[in-house]
Structure 1
Amino acid sequence: MPDPPAHPLAPGPSATATPAATRPARRWESEPARPAASEPARPGEPGRTGGPVVWWRRRSLRFRLTATATAVLALALAVSAYVFVVVLGESLIRNIDDQVYQRGREIVALSDAGRLPDPVTSVNNTIVQVLGPDGRIVDATSDTDRLVPLLPARARESAARTGAPQFVNGRPYALPGPLRVRVLSADHGVTVIVARSFTEVESSLVTTGHVLLVGMPLLLALLAAASWLVIGRTLRPITLLRRGAAAVGGTARSRRLPVPEARDEVHALATTLNDMLGRLEEAEARQRALVSDAAHELRSPLASIRLQLEVALSHPEGQDWTETAEGVLEDTLRLSRLAEDLLALARLDEGRLSRREPVDLGVLARRTAERYDLGLDLGLGSDPGSGLGSDLGSDAAPGSAPVVLGDELDLRRVLTNLVDNALRHAASAVRLGVRTGGAAGAGVAELTVTDDGPGIPPEDRERVFDRFTRLDDARSRDDGGAGLGLAIVRTTVEAHGGTVHLEDASPGLRAVVRLPLAR
């Protein structure tokens, strides 16, 4: 059967039944217009490069100081010019008031004496009107209105009563500019009005303003140029410091910054920077020496390990692998000890302790003595009754030993290194000592490690604390170690705020460690 006809209101085959609210919107119909992407900043436009503040901060110090000084000078000159004009105007007005008052007193005296001339003589371009009791003008200077007084009746009475000068517009009276007027009373009801034109004062102030408007910019330009030169001269030592700092580096690490002769802040800065460069140079030299010495120390055990392995591999049929393994293990232990010592020095070079807690030096000394007393043999071939061997003890009484603040592991390493060094050179005995007071001083604990060996010459007792230092260069590294033990001792003790030195024990040598007591 044919399909029924479509309803007239039904959508056709090309129409969509999707509601308008759910129909996908066309891009150009529904999306709002997006703002245009910001244009890239152009050079020289403060608004596009972060604003005037950023522009100002990017200027040189000399420019900013000069601009600031010029702005302050401009403000000071403007205020000074304003004050000068105001004071000058008041002074000129006061001068006119004095002249007007003086001339008025003269006219009053002439009127009272009946000798007032007609017309009244003009002095210093003053204008005079003499009014009778009825308020009419009876006398005046020439070219002055004789019909209309300069002030009406009420104003005349007020001015005569207060004696204060007043400003009056001179145009209605055919007089130039404003007038400065004073009113004085004479005998027989006579009133004297004296005035003088203010035009001269205005002309003087205008001339002064023109001079200031022309002269101030010139003066400001001269002051700005002088400020630029003076500031440049002042900053010249800093420029020299910058150039000197740029020259320091590469192969010129020993160079120093120029120090100005003036004992000012720049001199102090240059001195401080030179001291810092000196310390950096010393630290770098120590670092290079440490790397060189460490490489030298690592080379021997590594070469030994390589040699043993190469020999074993080249002749495997007759090789004693146990002996080879023992030799390699021994060299590996040497490498491990060296690595531990280097790590300890690197940590101690930071100048701070990982832990700071109370440490009983008596307990630490007793434990160290007990540790080395167990089965320790110097290999001297002596019997127990001969007096040779390790005779360790402690002078510290139980419970009376001092307590210091520090890292127990680091302090234990100090004692261990000192005892190892003493045992290596002792003839028969090594002894530990702990005490407070006495030669150590109040508030100081003293640790001593004494041996009866050959000792160290006085001139070498400080050098042995240097890193990788051996007094007997021919001595085997197997017996003498890497030369870091005493260096670790000094660095550790100084990190704890103490001191260490070597002294003669007659016979033998005594290592003395002094540490501040815990409070």
Structure 2
Amino acid sequence: MPVTLRPHSIRARVTLVAAGLSLIVFTLIGIGLDFAVRTRIQDGIYADSERIATYWINWEPISAPRPATTTRIDLLQFVDSRGRVLAASKAAGTTPITTVRPPADDRIRHGTSCAKSGCVVFTAVRLPPLETNLLWGGEPHFVYAGMAQPPILAGHRLELLTAAGVVLASGLASWVAWWVVGRTLRPVAEIRARTAEITLSDLSMRVPQPPGRDEIAQLARTTNRTLTRLEEAVNQQRQFASVVSHELRSPVAALYTRLEEAQLYPDEVDLRDTVDGAMATTKRLQAIINDLLVLARLRTAVPSPPEPIDLGALVAEEAANQLHGPPVRTYATGPVMVLGNRIQLIGVLNNLLVNARRHASSAVDVTTTRSDGYAVVIVADDGDGIAEQDRERVFEPFVRLADARQRDPGGSGLGLAICRGIVGAHHGTLNVEDSPQGACFVMRLPLMDADLSPTP
């Protein structure tokens, strides 16, 4: 199995990158600093030695056997063209500092000369031609001024100090990066630890949310919102499953009881009556299952492409199909165009109309109009109405009021829940509102030409 050298920790990776970059940067800085220090020290020595040599030429007698010096430039020599030391300071001795001569086109030359005893930084100055001609018959003479090379330039001490500074600075930068990244990622570790504790059986826990508006704080807030939605969805699913099992248990138990009775007492039970009862119970189960499938598809299926629909014409068409029972009177204020699924909206209107006619005393009024960018369909009956505390309960799955159970014993209690789900999928709302008499269902859908962004 190949071994990877790449660290898995973000903290380690960032620290390695910071260490590499800081090493490169500080190395470049160290090289530049080393060069600047060397140049500055040498330039200072060259300036002092040139000044001392020029001063000696101009003001001291050339024949002075031992020129005195009180500066760091303690090596002074007066040398002829054959390399003989004619005069020298006490520290310079009688051996020439160097054999280097200034070029013919320049009177001054700087340099460093090394021997077994050490290196010397010097300045060589050629005497002026007039003085040379007058005193020595044109034979060139030279003045050397210098000093022993400072220890910081003589060896690799400066380079070692610079390298040590680079290593220390890079180490400090790496430690700072390690500390900063660790402190930054500390909330991530806390979020990870808390997330590991959250299980499907207990979704009430939330991850710690750090202050501020940085990416980690936004991640924590988003995670908590997601956990809240997940908890709500799981609770709804559990409640839905509980209600479904309760609603299915009764007809299944009744069916089982009838069949068991027919099996135990074949001579006393009317077989035809048992089969008819079993068929009725099976139809009820089938209706409940079909409604459950419709409700499940509304929550999970990908919506089909919408089409333009004249809601007023669709209401009139569905009202005309209601043949038996109280009459349905429709009122429209002209074309009311919406975007939606025609089959689903027909199902909603049919369910609302059937429900209204079931509870109406004499008639059902359906009004289609436009209001504030929405198409509004009002289905009102003149029955007993719905109590205010039950106006939201009727949209819950399997919730059936006493009057509904009496008028439609075979109902599943899923019709209004499916209607609200369809309307919600169309970015609309379906509610029970106040009415002078009877129940009043109000459906609102965004108009096709409306400039608004409805909230699902």
Give the TM bin, normalised by the shorter chain.
0.7 to 0.9
Aligned match for 1:407, one of 328, 334, 341? 341
Contact 1:108 1:184 in 2 (8 A): no
Question: Normalization by structure 2: what TM-score?
Answer: 0.83
| Cα deviation, residue 343, structure 1 | 1.5
- Which letter does structure 1 place at the counterpart of 2:395? F
Select the residue among 137, 157, 162 that pairs with 1:207.
157
Q: Tell me, yes or no, if the aligned pair for 1:434 and 1:447 is still in contact at 8 Å.
A: yes
Amino acid at match of 2:329: G
The verdict on how the C-alpha distance between 1:192 and 1:282 changes in structure 2, with shifts beyond 3 A counting, is: same
Partner of 1:462: 392
Q: Deviations over 1:195-242 (max 9, x none)?
A: 425621654772233334445545555554554444333322211111
Identity of aligned residues (%): 31
> Structure 1 stretches of 5 or more lacking a match?
1-40, 42-47, 378-389
**Residue 70 (structure 1) aligned with residue 19 (structure 2):** yes
Whichever residue aligns with residue 460 of structure 1, its letter is: D
Cα displacement (A) at 1:108: 3.9
> How much does 1:110 deviate?
1.2
Q: 1:423 aligns to what SS in structure 2?
A: helix
Q: Which residue of 2 aligns with 1:276?
A: 226
User: Does the alignment pair 1:90 with 2:90?
Assistant: no
Equivalent of residue 369 in structure 2, options 417, 427, 435: 435
The one of 393, 398, 406 aligned to 2:329: 393
Structure 2 counterpart of 1:80, one-letter code: I
Quote the Cα distance in structure 2 between the aligned partners of 1:450 and 1:492: 20
Spell out, residue by residue over 1:260-294, the C-alpha distance to the aligned partner (whole angstroms, 9 max, x if none): 34554322222211111111111000001111111
Match in the other structure for 2:245: 295
- 1:27-176 → structure 2 map (5 Å cutoff): 41=1, 48-49=2-3, 52=4, 55-57=5-7, 59-110=8-59, 117-122=64-69, 123-130=71-78, 139-142=87-90, 143=92, 150-152=99-101, 155-160=102-107, 165-171=109-115, 176=118
- Residue 169 of structure 1: how far off its partner (Å): 3.4
Given that 1:357 and 1:406 are in contact with CA atoms closer than 8 Å, whether structure 2 keeps it comes out as: yes
User: In the TM superposition, what is the alpha-carbon distance from 1:468 to its structure 2 partner?
Assistant: 2.6
Q: For 1:88 and 1:147, locate their aligned partners in 2 and report how far apart those are by CA, in whole Å.
A: 29
* Aligned pair partner of 1:188 in 119, 124, 130: 130
Match of 1:426 in 2: 360
Alignment-derived partner of residue 451 in structure 1 = 381
- Write the mapping of 1:324-363 to structure 2, written as runs, cut at 5 A: 324-350=274-300, 352-363=302-313
Deviations 1:232-255 (Å, cap 9, x if unpaired)?
A: 333222111111111111543211
Q: 2:422 matched to 1:492?
A: yes
Single out whichever of 115-124 and 267-276 deviates more from structure 2: 115-124
Q: Which of residues 482, 486, 491 in structure 1 aligns to 2:412?
A: 482
1:501 matched to 2:431: yes
The answer on whether the counterparts of 2:329 and 2:363 sit within 8 Å (CA) in structure 1 is no
Structure 2 vs 1, CA of residues 508 and 245 (structure 1 numbering), >3 Å: closer, same or farther? Answer: same
Q: Is the 8 A contact 1:110 1:116 kept in 2?
A: no
Aligned-pair CA distance for 1:146 = 7.6
Calculate the aligned-residue CA RMSD, in Å. Answer: 3.3
1:277-323 Cα distance to aligned partner (Å, 9 max, x none) = 11111100000111111111111222232233334444545655554
Distance in 2, matches of 1:252 and 1:262, equals: 28
Distance 1:441 1:288 in 2: 38
Q: Distance in 2 between matches of 1:87 and 1:411?
A: 84
Match among 229, 235, 245 for residue 185 of structure 2: 235
| 1:396 aligned partner, one-letter code | A
For CA contacts below 8 A with separation 6 or more, give which structure has more relative contact order: 2
SS at match of 2:104: helix
Deviation at 1:446, TM superposition (A): 1.6
Whichever residue aligns with residue 89 of structure 1, its letter is R
Unaligned runs of 5+ in 2: 133-140, 450-456
Q: Distance in 2 between matches of 1:256 and 1:429?
A: 53
Is the 1:104–1:192 Cα contact (8 Å) retained in structure 2? no
Relative distance call for 1:132 and 1:513 in structure 2 (3 A) is: same
Q: 1:504 is paired with a residue of what secondary structure? A: coil
Partner of 2:255: 305
TM-score (normalised: structure 1) = 0.74
Q: How many residues align?
A: 439
Distance 1:238 1:411, change over 3 A: same
What secondary structure is seen at the aligned counterpart in 1 of 2:376? strand
Within a 5 Å distance, the mapping from 1:378-389 to structure 2 comes to none
Shift in CA distance, 311/246, structure 1 to aligned 2, threshold 3 Å? same
Q: Which stretch of structure 1 is more off in the superposition, 116-125 or 214-223?
A: 214-223
The amino acid that maps onto 2:182 is G
Give me the whole-angstrom Cα distance separating, in 1, the residues matched to 2:269 and 2:94: 145
Cα distance in 2, alignment partners of residues 94 and 240 from structure 1: 59
